[in-house]
Amino acid sequence: AEANSTEIVCASTTRTAVTLTVNPLPIAPDDMSTFLCEDSFTTLDAEVENVAYQWNTGETTQQIDVITPGDYNVFITNANGCSTIRNFNVEQIDLPRIDNIISDGASIRITTINDGNFEYSLDGISFQQNPIFDAVEGGFYTIYVRDNTDCGVVTQDFYHLVIQKFFTPNGDTFNDFFEPDGL
């Protein structure tokens, strides 16, 4: 480095060597969006080791557990005092809430109070995205509804009674008797 005066136009004879060190920033993974199951928690991880952490929640660990949806961030500071930030967006996935189960002939239709990416089952094993089941025999069923993120399953017992739309007791052997299926 060289010192120059603005009042005297002459070069300085005094020079001092200066070493400039550029310290790298800690490398943080990309920002992240994740989900939180209703009535549960999720763990957020800075994913960088051997550094200092300062979360916007006040915590100073590499990982934190959160129970509330929202935006979170962590300042990651290395030994040289250089910092970077990682952001997290946490959305809550609500459990499905069964509103109504409707028998319509040999079909069962399930409606929910809330919206979501729900899957439906009559046996808890085979799930489908369509809330309508066709060609279902009468009988007792447990209805299963879950979010496709596996946040949990809600169930409701249901008795499905299949009643023919009409009967004509005229002796032609077609629909001559009222015979509900599932009794």
Tokens of 61: 């660990």
Q: What digits encode the pLDDT tens for the residues 71-130?
A: 999 999 999 999 999 999 999 999 999 999 999 889 999 999 999 999 999 999 999 999
Tally of domains within the chain: 2
DSSP 8-state class, residue 132: E
| C-alpha–C-alpha distance, residues 121 and 127, integer Å | 5
Q: What digits encode the pLDDT tens for the residues 12-67?
A: 677 788 888 888 889 999 999 999 999 999 999 999 999 999 999 999 999 999 99
The verdict on 112 and 144 lying in the same domain is yes
DSSP 8-state class, residue 128: B
| C-alpha–C-alpha distance, residues 152 and 99, integer Å | 17
Query: What sign has the CA pseudo-torsion 128, 132, 136, 142?
Result: positive
The verdict on 66 and 102 lying in the same domain is no
Which CATH number fits the domain that encloses residue 82?
Answer: 2.60.40.10
Note whether residue 170 is domain-resident. no
Strand order in the sheet with 98-104: 98-104, 107-112, 132-133
Q: What digits encode the pLDDT tens for the residues 122-168?
A: 999 999 999 999 999 999 999 999 999 889 999 999 999 887 777 77
The verdict on 79 and 108 lying in the same domain is no
The verdict on 154 and 107 lying in the same domain is yes
The residue range of the domain holding 125 is 98-160
